[in-house]
């Protein structure tokens, strides 16, 4: 129980109550009092406010026991909606969630331009459509969070997006100037680790989520908190050097991890060896199923490079759980077993390594979950429904 200034206490208690309602899905006033340590009068006053604000709704629980059926509280999912956006290379993924974290709709559109101003106009047009579509609910579209595949400053401005060669762009301000919507910008790896914590690994306080796609990034949770570093650039592990005299990278160094373990490296190498340009994930899946020797050897090389980088990360952060978000690893049988066999050092200590169930949806799911947390002003959210 928190003590201190009255207004501050009320705000803290409100946050605690909302957080527990989110965590449990459905919960009675009596149970709220029991698990929070707040007295029943405090719970009652707070719940009245939340009901008036349309943030919470009541449901009478069905049960066969004799006596009065308890009234259960839950978040009013339809009171408002959030928008998560994955601004990827050549495409943009959108997800609308309600305030309970449920997926309402998703959409993916192709992106045929790399010009910053043109991309901003595309985003403005799409966000305006969603804002209008959900304008009739009580709070409307409450927040939009955009995941960027690049370095994002702590003030949410973009330092650098390699694939687009964007430098020093203030996407948040450029959007908010044109549309009356609260916008936040975040690094995609940070959103991925947040999604893993919120939807899957609820009790893992030291969590590493590594995304291996067009590049490589890490979202880092330490003691339940997101690690961003001094300027916000923590987790840019794709440019960790694993081969000092290796391939030249556009960042200016040689031998960066993503030159060996990101998807473009695998597809480029295989396309050359098989003399088959424009290979797809489906092609790769079929070649692996057919035990094509060149493809299987390439995948083993890929896994060995993945393992080198993971060894460095494990020794640096000592994670409890390591989540790998990689479509390529999902295609290869026994990928985790082979990685674990490569991590036999007595000092490489971790509890478990798993492949992400969220896949490419992790970014937009994390964006929506973070938007809900921001809007409800709670310390954390935890959703039991891990649907994509």
pLDDT at 47 over 70: yes
Q: Output the pLDDT for position 66.
A: 60
Q: What is the mean pLDDT of residues 166-195?
A: 96
Q: Output the pLDDT for position 214.
A: 85
pLDDT at 69 over 80: no
When pLDDT is cut at 50, 70 and 90, the band that residue 374 belongs to is very high
pLDDT at 1 over 60: no
Pairing, β 81-87 against β 91-98: antiparallel
When pLDDT is cut at 50, 70 and 90, the band that residue 346 belongs to is low
When pLDDT is cut at 50, 70 and 90, the band that residue 3 belongs to is low
Indicate if 239 and 115 belong to the same structural domain: no
- pLDDT tens for each residue of 86-110: 999 889 999 999 999 999 999 999 9
User: 388 lies in a domain?
Assistant: no
Indicate if 34 and 157 belong to the same structural domain: no
When pLDDT is cut at 50, 70 and 90, the band that residue 31 belongs to is very high
When pLDDT is cut at 50, 70 and 90, the band that residue 297 belongs to is very high
Indicate if 14 and 67 belong to the same structural domain: yes
pLDDT at 285 over 90: yes
Indicate if 186 and 123 belong to the same structural domain: yes
The percentage of residues in the chain with a pLDDT greater than 70, rounded to a whole number, is 95
Q: What is the mean pLDDT of residues 375-383?
A: 93
Q: What is the mean pLDDT of residues 111-138?
A: 97
327 and 361 Cβ atoms separated by less than 8 Å: no
The string over 353-385, giving b where at least 16 C-beta atoms fall within 10 Å of a residue's C-beta and e elsewhere, is beebbbebbbbbbbbbbbbbbbbbebeebbbee
When pLDDT is cut at 50, 70 and 90, the band that residue 385 belongs to is low
User: 383 lies in a domain?
Assistant: no
Indicate if 352 and 255 belong to the same structural domain: yes
The span from the CA of 2 to the CA of 4, in Å, is 7
pLDDT at 140 over 90: yes
Q: Output the pLDDT for position 163.
A: 83
Indicate if 90 and 160 belong to the same structural domain: yes
The span from the CA of 155 to the CA of 199, in Å, is 26
Indicate if 186 and 158 belong to the same structural domain: yes
| Counted domains in the chain | 3
User: 297 lies in a domain?
Assistant: yes
Q: Determine which of 57-71, 190-204, 267-281 has the lowest per-residue pLDDT on average.
A: 57-71
CB under 8 Å to 121, separation ≥6 — which residues? none
User: Which of 75, 93, 115 is the last residue in one of the domains?
Assistant: 75
The span from the CA of 152 to the CA of 144, in Å, is 16
User: 381 lies in a domain?
Assistant: no
371 and 143 Cβ atoms separated by less than 8 Å: yes
Q: Output the pLDDT for position 4.
A: 57
3-state secondary structure 76-101: CHHHCEEEEEEECCCEEEEEEEECCC
In the 8-state DSSP scheme, what is residue 61? P
User: 197 lies in a domain?
Assistant: no
Residue 24 domain boundaries? 6-75
Q: Please state the separation of Cα 169 from the chain's center in Å.
A: 22
Q: From the CA atom positions of the chain, what is the Rg in Å? A: 23
* Phi, psi at 230, each rounded to 5°: -60, -45
User: 384 lies in a domain?
Assistant: no
Indicate if 149 and 283 belong to the same structural domain: no
- The CATH number that applies at residue 132 is 3.30.420.40
User: 382 lies in a domain?
Assistant: no
The span from the CA of 301 to the CA of 277, in Å, is 20
Q: Output the pLDDT for position 370.
A: 97
Q: Output the pLDDT for position 384.
A: 74
Pairing, β 71-75 against β 56-60: antiparallel
User: Which of 75, 100, 120 is the last residue in one of the domains?
Assistant: 75
Indicate if 209 and 333 belong to the same structural domain: yes
The span from the CA of 68 to the CA of 61, in Å, is 10
193 and 365 Cβ atoms separated by less than 8 Å: no
């Amino acid at each position: 129980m928190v003590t201190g200034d009255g207004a501050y206490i009320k705000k803290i208690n409100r946050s605690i109550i909302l957080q527990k309602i989110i965590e449990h899905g459905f919960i009675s006033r009596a149970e709220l009092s029991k698990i929070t340590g707040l007295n029943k009068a405090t719970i009652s006053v707070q719940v009245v406010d939340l009901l008036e604000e349309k943030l919470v709704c009541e449901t009478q629980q069905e049960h066969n026991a004799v006596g009065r059926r308890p009234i259960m509280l839950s978040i009013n999912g339809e009171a408002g909606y959030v928008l998560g956006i994955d601004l990827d290379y050549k495409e943009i993924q959108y997800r609308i969630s309600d305030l309970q974290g449920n997926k309402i709709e998703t959409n993916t559109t192709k992106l045929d331009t790399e010009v910053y101003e043109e991309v901003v106009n595309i985003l403005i047009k799409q966000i305006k459509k969603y804002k209008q579509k959900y304008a009739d609910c009580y709070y409307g579209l409450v927040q939009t969070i955009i995941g960027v595949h690049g370095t994002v400053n702590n003030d949410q401005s973009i330092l650098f997006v390699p694939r687009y060669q964007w430098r020093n762009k203030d996407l948040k301000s450029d959007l908010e100037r044109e549309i009356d919507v609260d916008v936040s910008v975040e690094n995609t790896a940070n959103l991925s680790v947040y999604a893993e914590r919120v939807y899957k690994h609820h009790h893992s306080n030291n969590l590493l989520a590594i995304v291996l796609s067009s590049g490589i990034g890490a979202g880092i949770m330490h003691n339940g908190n997101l690690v961003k570093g001094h300027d916000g650039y923590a987790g840019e592990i794709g440019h960790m050097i694993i081969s000092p005299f290796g391939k030249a990278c556009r960042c200016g160094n040689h031998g960066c991890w993503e030159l060996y373990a990101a998807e473009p490296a695998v597809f480029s190498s295989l396309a050359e060896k098989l003399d088959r340009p424009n290979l797809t994930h489906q092609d790769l899946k079929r070649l692996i199923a057919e035990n094509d020797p060149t493809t299987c050897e390439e995948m083993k090389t890929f896994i060995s490079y993945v393992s080198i980088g993971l060894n460095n990360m494990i020794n640096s952060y000592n994670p409890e759980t390591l989540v790998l978000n990689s479509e390529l690893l999902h295609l290869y049988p026994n990928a985790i077993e082979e990685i674990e066999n490569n991590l036999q050092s007595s000092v490489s200590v971790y509890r478990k390594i798993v492949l992400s169930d969220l896949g490419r949806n992790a970014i937009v799911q994390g964006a929506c979950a973070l938007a809900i947390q921001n809007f409800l002003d709670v310390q954390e959210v935890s959703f039991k429904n891990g649907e994509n």
